[in-house]
Amino acid sequence: MASTPTSNRATQLAIWGAALIVILAAVYAIRSLTRERVSVRAAQAVYQDLIKTSRTTGKVEPLDDFQAHAQVAGQVQEIYVDVGDKVHAGQLLLKMDDADALARLASANSTLRAAELATSDIEHGGSQDERNTYANDLSRAQLQRHEDATSLTALEALQQKGAASPAEVAAARARIQVDDGTLHSIQQHSTQRYGEADRARAQAQLADARAAVAAAERAYAGADIRTPIAGTVYNLPVSQYDYVSLDNNDLVYVADLKRLRITAYFDEPEIGDLAVGQPVTITWEAKPGMTWHGHITQAPTSIITYGTRNVGECFIDIDDADGVLQPNANVIVKVTTAQRLHVLSVPHEAVRDLNGPQPYVFRILHKKLVRTNVHTGVINLTQVEITSGLAEGDSVALNATTNRDLSNGLEVTPVY
């Protein structure tokens, strides 16, 4: 059967259509094979232990400390110890020249005796000489009145016999009144010479004098410096024959170097994680390679300004002080504020919008990024705990190896 023009045209169209389909399929296949994928650093969600820490600096302070200071200015006469020496309670450490202290004590005692004497005089109405004078004056006045009274009695008897005039009797009575006035004046002067203000002033002067003697006695006793505690001499800023003034009177410091604590200042955002009992590791640049351990005994209770920082003051007891760590040393402390064992976690940089309302990650599924919401737990500087949203072994994107931004659906080539 011969072909018609219509059938030939249909056959040609079918051939061209099939060829076009083949070409489009080839183009798609080639494009799919040659399409550029974004290279991304990737990691897997794994179970591990997470530890969260806070780090700052602190200053070492002794719990048992004795700091000897000169009570009076003077010369250091003898020194019996060196820095690093271990001493027992009551041990003599050094001696100051006590000549000045002795002179001050003598002067204070002299002032006290004068104040005691003045108080006694006021309480008794005067000094002993004054009281003797009053007694003699009173005795003479009493004798004079007795004589005048006897004379009055005799004149009154003579007047009854007509042998004495009324004027003589009146004169005798006037002398009695004068005698009584004299006696009253002497008695009042001897008992009421001093008022309440005089007594109060004398008592105040006496109290001041006693306090001055007590201070002078302490200063004199302090000329021999003895330690009240057992420990180690850790600071000896003077040498024999040095002159020590009251403005610069540090002599010797002793402390129990096995009972130390640290005062540390944590920045305000970190203090909410601190609590009593949390473990602490301590390092000191002066002793590289050595580490000490402690625990928080007082967490910050308020915010204070420390230089240019807003901080909370924290006290840390050192559990294994061994005599190497020194008072006043500046150390680095690291507090373990949280510890979770065997929890699912991913690297910190894998989590986006970590402090926002809904953190998320880019999970890698079939070489494409899938935005996946997650819930987080403990967060430290390198890892984030994932409490939901991922499973163990899930791959997540960290960042692109180029400057390309990551987005949902982006085709990627993971690099682990």
Q: What is the pLDDT of residue 7?
A: 63
Lowest average pLDDT, out of 118-127, 236-245, 288-297, 391-400, goes to 118-127
Cβ–Cβ < 8 Å for 325, 317: no
Strands of the sheet with 38-44, listed across from one edge: 368-373, 360-365, 395-400, 38-44, 412-415
Average pLDDT over residues 356-385: 95
Q: What is the pLDDT of residue 34?
A: 45
Q: What is the pLDDT of residue 233?
A: 96
In the CATH scheme, what is the code of domain 65-96+224-254? 2.40.50.100
Q: What is the pLDDT of residue 199?
A: 78
Average pLDDT over residues 136-142: 79
Q: Is the pLDDT of residue 83 over 90?
A: yes
Identify the residue whose tokens are 């928080």.
296
Cβ–Cβ < 8 Å for 298, 276: yes
Average pLDDT over residues 376-384: 93
Q: What is the pLDDT of residue 49?
A: 94
Identify the residue whose tokens are 């259509």.
17
Q: What is the pLDDT of residue 415?
A: 93
> Taking the domains of the chain in order of start, what are their residue ranges?
38-53+341-415, 54-63+256-339, 65-96+224-254, 108-216
Q: What is the pLDDT of residue 26?
A: 64
Taking only the tens place, the pLDDT of each residue in 392-402 is: 999 999 999 98
Q: Tell me the CATH class for 54-63+256-339.
A: mainly beta
Lowest average pLDDT, out of 31-35, 288-292, 387-391, goes to 31-35
Q: Is the pLDDT of residue 175 over 50?
A: yes
> How high does pLDDT run on average in the chain?
86
Q: What is the pLDDT of residue 8?
A: 63
Q: Is the pLDDT of residue 18 over 80?
A: no
Question: 173 versus 283: which is more confidently predicted?
Answer: 283
Taking only the tens place, the pLDDT of each residue in 248-294 is: 788 999 999 999 999 999 999 999 999 999 999 999 999 999 999 99
Architecture of the structural domain at 38-53+341-415: Beta Barrel (2.40)
Q: Is the pLDDT of residue 62 over 60?
A: yes
C-alpha–C-alpha distance, residues 350 and 99, integer Å? 77
Contacts of 414 (CB under 8 A, 6+ apart): 40, 41, 42, 364, 367, 395, 397
Q: What is the pLDDT of residue 36?
A: 64
Q: What is the pLDDT of residue 184?
A: 79
C-alpha–C-alpha distance, residues 287 and 259, integer Å? 19
Copy the structure tokens of residue 183: 């006696």
C-alpha–C-alpha distance, residues 26 and 36, integer Å? 18
